[in-house]
Structure 1
Amino acid sequence: MVCGGFVCTKNALSALNVVYVMVGLLLIGVAAWGKWFGLVSSISVVAGVIGVGAFLLLVAFVGLCGALKHQQVLLFFYMVILFIVFVLQFSISCACLALNTDQQNKLLEVGWNKSEVTKKDVEKTLNCCGFSSVVYNSSCPAQCYTTPQTCDPCSSILQKYAGEVLRFVGSVGLFFSFTEILGVWLTHKYRNLKDPRSNPGAFL
């Protein structure tokens, strides 16, 4: 059978959703591992990553069920959801890759002032205190805080990695956005193929 047939399209769509299941489980596992070992103490960050992983698992489950059973309704909703996710992810990925240094600094400062828990995590992990300047009369969990005048502000350290992280996140997001548009195309094609297991005149 040629690769453009019913079976090949079904296998390709199923394999794509298996990859989504693995990525979803990986996200949930990494978040749980980071929380368990105390690498991340922010509940909102852990819950956000687990939420993304659970959503990806749900979408992959709908896609797998639709592909294996050739269910038109499930495939339609899967195609619509995947297209919406593609638009959002593609936009965010392009924004990450297009941010300049000043925009990165403003974004870092907004994130810094948003959560005290995240702020403490960053200070402890990067061994720094404060965002733009060190304030020694405040509480800081960094190890350098025990020795006066040895701490650096966190902004200078964060700025070193911000560009690399944004480029990495943008590139990974861009890659997965193209797998999503591939999934939309495969689903559309698969929905319009006649199931060879059905009656010759039937169309599911």
Structure 2
Amino acid sequence: SDKELIILYEKKTGEDSYGLAYVRLTTQLDRIKEVVRSWTALDAALQSCKASGNLDPRKRGMCSGPLPTKGLVGFLSGKSTGGKWEDEYLGVDATVHGAATKFTNGVTFSGAGAGAEWPVGKLGQNQPYYSANNKFALAATVTIHAVPEEDGTPLLGVRMKDAANTVLFGLSYTKDKKWKAKLDNADAEEHAEAWENDKTYQVALQMDTDD
């Protein structure tokens, strides 16, 4: 209701047992309404690629044309401070590792081990992106500025939260300027199309357990 908000969630009560717990969120209603307004404004701005409210996505380099937002739950762009890359949708922030430089609509990574981790599966039972267990798409706009010294430099991918850091699938690039795609335990497959230095690419990975 307008006066009271209660959330019911699953909580681990023992080694192999879970129970239900609830928390009153009435005092957080104003913040929740503010977040929903932010989502609405961001959706409108990206869908039209025009200013909406206080947000001008073109000036921030977030789009060059209309973007679909149906099902969009996270967006990393130019908000980064120190080791944190903020989610524009106010969800899970990414963690930046290694040498990184902020620019208008993203981050430039330099050197071995540099990159970002979006820890969407590290929140225990309280998963904000529960649907990602079955189906999701991960897209990025990337530019490669230098040829790597080693083959198979990771570009974009998804790992399991397990002891082996199992790679579900991923895309990498080689010193021969080739793309490599890897799926689960299979060997990485090299693709004939070559990549070019300082050229911008839009890449996407999709998982659908129904496939």
TM-score higher than 0.5: no
TM-score (normalised: structure 1):
0.29
Larger RCO (CA under 8 A, 6+ residues apart) = 1
Higher radius of gyration, 1 or 2:
1
TM-score, length-scaled by structure 2: 0.28
Structure number with the higher helix fraction is 1
